[in-house]
Amino acid sequence: MKLYIVPTPIGNLEDITLRALRVLKEADFVLCEDTRTTKNLLRHYEMDKRCYAYHIFNEHQQVANLVNMIKIAGSVALTSDAGTPGISDPGFLLIRECLAADIKVECLPGATALIPALVNSGLPADKFYFHGFLPHKKGKETTLKMLAERDETVIFYESPFRLVKTLEMMLHIFGEGRQISVARELTKIHEENFRGTVAEAVSHFSEKEVKGEIVVVVKGK
């Protein structure tokens, strides 16, 4: 009995390792954030697997049941819609409960959005702080103030609909001259890596509607 955490592509379907494909092929079943998304990936690699849903809306009710299913199975794979499960995606709860039940857990290295965004940024990558998503409303300003004080490079995920508002808030909190990099649509056709100051980022992203998936990387204090 073993739970494999299997990273899946964040855009480019080629970004999956040979081992991830083998683990998916050999798994008794796959736990997926969205069974349709994972089934599309499996179909692309000509695999047909039993898939069960494991997502934020059912993880608390399902976790005990899933631990029992994994105990009986030989090997089970956990995927999310994109990137590494457990990173701003469901996974933590199941991993914790599997470990508590003496089930082996192994995370395969692979796709995640924060690492290419950090490395592309050209900002120091020796130490960094990853915050996941910012709070949407309440607590957002306090969180940004806390992030602005960090010495290491700061990384967070942001929605395209909130990006400009967040950058405008950052003007006052981080200062307009702080270096920033905004990675958009990594590994996809319209990939963009904007690098400049916070003030330049505000004018760049205010020009037209922001689309796609975003990672923000900011130089430490």
Tell me which residues touch ligand SAM (CB under 6 A).
10-11, 80, 82-84, 87-89, 112-114, 157-158, 183, 185-188, 213-215
Choose between 19 and 71: whose C-beta lies nearer to ligand SAM: 19
Across the chain, the runs of DSSP E, i.e. the strands, are: 2-5, 29-32, 51-53, 75-79, 104-107, 128-133, 153-158, 179-184, 192-197, 214-218
- What H or E segment, with its residue span, contains residue 20? helix 18-26
At position 197, the amino acid (one-letter code) is: T
Nearer CB in complex with ligand SAM: 32/214:
214
Q: Nearer to ligand SAM by C-beta: 40 or 68?
A: 40
Measured from each CB, the residue nearest to ligand SAM is: 83
Q: Which residues contact 23 (CB under 8 A, 6 or more apart)?
A: 4, 6, 75, 77, 108
CB-nearer residue toward ligand SAM: 76 or 89 = 89
**Smallest distance from the beta carbon of 10 to ligand SAM, in angstroms?**
4
Grouping H, G, I as helix, E, B as strand and the rest as coil, residue 131 is strand
Nearest approach, Cβ of residue 52 and ligand SAM (Å):
19
